[in-house]
Amino acid sequence: MSNKFKHQLTYTKFPQSLYHGDKIKFVNQSLHKFGTGQKILDIGCGAVPYQSPGNDVFSMDADAAIVQDLQKLGRQQVFLGDANKRIPFEDETFDTVLLLDVIEHFYEPEKATSEVKRVLKRNGHVLIFTPNFSSSLYMMVEKFYFPLVCHYHTEKYSEHVFNNKPDDLRSYLKRHFDVEELKVCSYGMAVFAVCRKE
């Protein structure tokens, strides 16, 4: 089991829960509004693929070791793929796409966003949770905490390369989607957005 996999399993524990708690809450609230029977793609699922009872959830990650670890644990709907290149699904497959701590890793943001739109059905939703790069608290975490505990942050798929502040993120998303909601959360450290493909 990789160090990255082991670390991500701690996300629900303190202090990581200060950041990740709102992610779980807001995604659950949004999926509840959408209803059951949704076909969902969790892009960049990491070691903790999203689970949503009553929905059909597929997961994808760019890290082959993590995908293998998950498959060994019996998670069969986990696929190897990089949104910056190509998402391995057909056009208009999913009702909802999750980008949970993922969009900041888009080293080819226009290509990756185009791929998300391609696999999303018309009027489907994208739920986005990403660091708030205008938050002094988050930037302290990025500068001091990550180097201590996230030794994998030197790899291309793990680096934070698409670092938008809330207003910039809103402007970017509005070029591609109808932005239904965008708010700062997690003690100011994160941004949550709900977008719809028109």
pLDDT digits 0-9 by tens, 120-168: 999 999 999 999 999 998 888 777 766 666 554 444 444 677 878 999 9
Residue spans of alpha helices (H) in the chain = 3-8, 16-34, 64-72, 109-119, 136-140, 146-149, 166-174
Question: So what CATH class is 3-196?
Answer: alpha beta
Q: Is the pLDDT of residue 116 over 80?
A: yes
The pTM of the full predicted model, rounded to 2 decimals, is 0.88
**Helix (H, G, I), strand (E, B), or coil: what is residue 46?**
coil
Whole-angstrom CA distances from 109 to 45, 70, 116, 189 are 18, 27, 10, 21
Per-residue pLDDT at 18: 78
pLDDT at position 2 is: 44
How much is the pLDDT for 12?
59
